[in-house]
Amino acid sequence: MTESRYGPTEASGVWLHLEYDGEKLEGVSRELLGKGRELADGLRVPVTGMLLGTALVSVAREAIAYGADRVLMAQHPLLDPYTTDAHARVASQLIGDGKPDILLLGATPNGRDLAGRLAVRLRTGLTADCTDLGLEQESGLLLGEVVGFGGGIVASIKCEQHRPQMATVRPGVFAEPAPDEARQGAVEDVAVDLSDRDLRVRVVERSVQRSAGITDAELLVVGGAGTGGDFALLEELASLIGAELGVTRVAVDAGWASHERQVGQTGYVTRPRLTLVCGVSGAQQFTVGIDQAEVVLAVNADGEAPIFDRADYSVVGDLFEVLPAMIEEARAALQEKETAGALA
C-alpha cells in the first residue's frame, strides 16, 4: 500500500464526521460522540467534530454538549445538501491540515460514500461497518470489529502505519451519551474555497428515506423466513404493545418488506428493552442486530434453531399458533388498563 499523506508520528486526536438533519445531530453522530469521547479519554487526546453544511452554529453547540472538545464548521451553500465532490474536497483538506490519529464516520449512505472517497484521497485504510471499536492495550491502535463470511467470523482490524485510522460505524451500535448543556468547548469557522466548477454532480431533487424507527424502538417485533411473508399477526401484536416491526434479510430479499425495517449486519442495529423474534433461525449476521437488546423472546418451530442460544425466553411452536394467544393476552391487558384509567 502506498504511504498515507501523513504518518503515526504526526497524527493526534480523535475526529468525527458529524451528520445533521438540518436542525439537530443525527442519532448516529450522537452515538459516535459518545464512543469517540471514550476512545479519546483512553488516549488522553481531544475530540474534534467536523460539520459541513449551512447554519451550523446550534448543531455545533449540540456536539459540544454530547462530548466534543472542538467543532470545525465548514459553512458554504454548496455543502448543503451533501454531494461527494464538495464534501470530499473540504473534508480531505481539513483532515490533511489537522492530521487526526482516528477518524470515525457513521455507516449511513452519505457516511459510507464519503469514507471511501476520503480513504483514497488520504491513502489510508478503512474498516467499514464496525460492530464495535476499542483500543489495543499495548499500542493504543484503533481496533475495529467486523463480522464476515456471512457471520462465520468476527475479525478485529487495525491500521498500523497509515493515518488516519478510519472506521465507519452503523447506527444503533453504540448508546447515546447523556448531553451536558453546561459543557464547554471551542466552535471554529473554517474557510471554504468552493465553486460550481469543483462539482461534477449537482443535486436536482432530494428524497430522504429514514429507518422505520427500529433503531430507537424500546419494543421490537421481528419476523423472518418462518412467516412465509405473512406479517399480519406480528403487525397486530406490535400495534397492541406499541412496538416497531422489524424483519430479517431473508424477508427483504424475498420482497416481503423494505430494507428500512431490516435488522442485522446488513440492516440496522437495535437496542430495545424487549425483542420478540418470530420465525427467525438466528444466524450471527442477524443476531448482531439484537445483541444490545435487554430481553429477547424467541418463537420458532425448530427446537434446535440457533436463535434459542441468544434468547432469554424460548417458545418452541408454530408462530401462527403462538401469536394469537399473545395477542389475546395483550388485548386483555390493554382493556384492563383502559378500564382502570376510566375508574381512576
Q: What is the pLDDT of residues 250-282, one digit of tens each?
A: 999 999 999 889 998 888 888 899 999 999 999
**Continuous H helices in 254-318:** 284-287, 307-310
Domains present along the chain, CATH in parentheses: 14-198 (3.40.50.620), 219-343 (3.40.50.1220)
pLDDT of residue 152: 61
pLDDT in tens, 279-306: 999 988 899 889 889 999 999 999 999 9
**Mean pLDDT, rounded, for 193-205:** 81
**Mean pLDDT, rounded, for 218-239:** 95
How many Å apart are CA 259 and CA 266, to the nearest integer? 9
Please say if the pLDDT value at position 330 is more than 70.
yes
**Mean pLDDT, rounded, for 212-225:** 89
pLDDT in tens, 104-142: 999 999 999 999 999 999 999 999 999 899 999 999 999
- In sequence order, the β-bridge partners of residue 314 are 298
* CA dihedral for 164, 165, 170, 176, sign (positive or negative): negative
Spatial strand order of the sheet with 153-157 comes to 132-135, 142-148, 153-157
Pairing of strands 142-148, 132-135: antiparallel
Residues 6 or more apart whose CB falls under 8 angstroms from that of 150 comprise 283, 285
How many Å apart are CA 71 and CA 50, to the nearest integer? 6
pLDDT in tens, 40-71: 999 999 999 999 999 999 999 999 999 999 99
Residue 214: CB atoms within 10 A of its CB come to 25
Q: How far is CA 3 from CA 87, 124, 163, in A?
A: 23, 8, 9
With b for 16 or more beta-carbon neighbours within 10 A and e for fewer, the 241-258 pattern comes to bebbbbbbbbbbeeebbe
Q: At what angle do helices 319-343 and 232-241 cross, to 10 degrees?
A: 20
- Which residue type does 217 have? A
* Pick from 173, 180, 203: nearest CA to 80: 203
pLDDT of residue 205: 79
> Which H helix or E strand runs over 128?
strand 126-130
% helix, strand, coil for the chain, step of 5: 35, 25, 40
